[in-house]
Amino acid sequence: MNKALICTTCGTQYPPDKQVPELCIICNDDRQYVTEDGQHWTDMEELERGRSTKIEVLCDNLYSLKTEPDFALANRALFVKSPGGNVLWDCITLPDKNAIDFINANGGLKAIAFSHPHYYSAMNEWAAIFNCPVYIHHNDSQWTMYKGKHITLWNGNDFKLWDGIRIVHAGGHFPGSCVLHVPSLSAKGTVLSGDTLYIARSKRHIAVMFSYPNQILLPRNEFVAFYEKCKGLEFDTMYGAFVNQDLVGNAKQIFNTSMHRYINSYGM
Ligand SMILES: [Zn+2]
Ligand SMILES: [Zn+2]
């Protein structure tokens, strides 16, 4: 396996042929944090020891992949099974045998697509294993630390995949933040939101912030631009980046009440 170094706080893998920065660029940004005991690095070989991928069904044709025990941001990647080809939405750092065998048994991957840079993790490794493109919005090019040959930047408001699946640019949390819209997963469509729309613990609110861990609000103009891009999305179900961030059936109502909170707060 690749000896490229991986930040233990965010799980981002850096290119093997370059010196890593003193502090991880993703973590040293105001949206993230370097832990108090400083910067630490690991690699795939070390990460593999004692860890494996837990796979859970979220609904027909949607699965959660999560490293256990927790590593880095402890997010999940979402595997969408579709007749025209399967999509991995966001990544986890370690592609262990369990995850690889599961994906291959279900027809492999046609694409990896991202909500934003916090989950790029070891995307180049995953793309090499499944020989598929990785779709990243052009606005987040500067946050792409390791631009391997599978990385494909796209520009514009949305990027159509197949079977009606679309990557939709939203902005907000990152300039290139996106959601994945999958019409077939529920009656009115499902949004896989990453951190672009962050489902609160109560499940009665969806947050949109510059930083979630550091609790930094979005400037008003950026919220307005975000809302203009997202208000027309049709969906009834939403899955976020973390376990339990599942809003099944009532996601659009929660989205509407949450956005109205922001609209009132920003005096729009
Ligand atoms: Zn980091
Ligand atoms: Zn994030």
Using CA atoms, how far apart are residues 88 and 113, in angstroms rounded to an integer?
6
Q: Give the pTM.
A: 0.97
245, two tokens: 């961030």
In a domain, 163, yes or no: yes
Q: Does residue 186 contact residue 237 with C-beta atoms inside 8 Å?
A: yes
- Number of domains forming the structure of the chain: 1
Q: What are the residues whose beta carbon lies below 5 Å from ligand 1 (ion)?
A: 7, 9-10, 12, 24, 26-27
Q: Does residue 266 contact residue 257 with C-beta atoms inside 8 Å?
A: no
Of all ligands present, the nearest one to the C-alpha of 207 is: 2
CATH value at residue 89: 3.60.15.10
Of all ligands present, the nearest one to the C-alpha of 7 is: 1
Residue by residue, pLDDT tens for the chain (268 residues) are 558 999 999 999 999 999 999 999 999 999 999 999 999 999 999 999 999 999 999 999 999 999 999 999 999 999 999 999 999 999 999 999 999 999 999 999 999 999 999 999 999 999 999 999 999 999 999 999 999 999 999 999 999 999 999 999 999 999 999 999 999 999 999 999 999 999 999 999 999 999 999 999 999 999 999 999 999 999 999 999 999 999 999 999 999 999 999 999 998 8
Of all ligands present, the nearest one to the C-alpha of 178 is: 2
In a domain, 1, yes or no: no
Q: Does residue 233 contact residue 181 with C-beta atoms inside 8 Å?
A: yes
Query: Which residues constitute the domain of residue 131?
Result: 6-265
Q: 196 C-alpha vs ligand 2 centroid, how far in Å?
A: 7
In a domain, 64, yes or no: yes
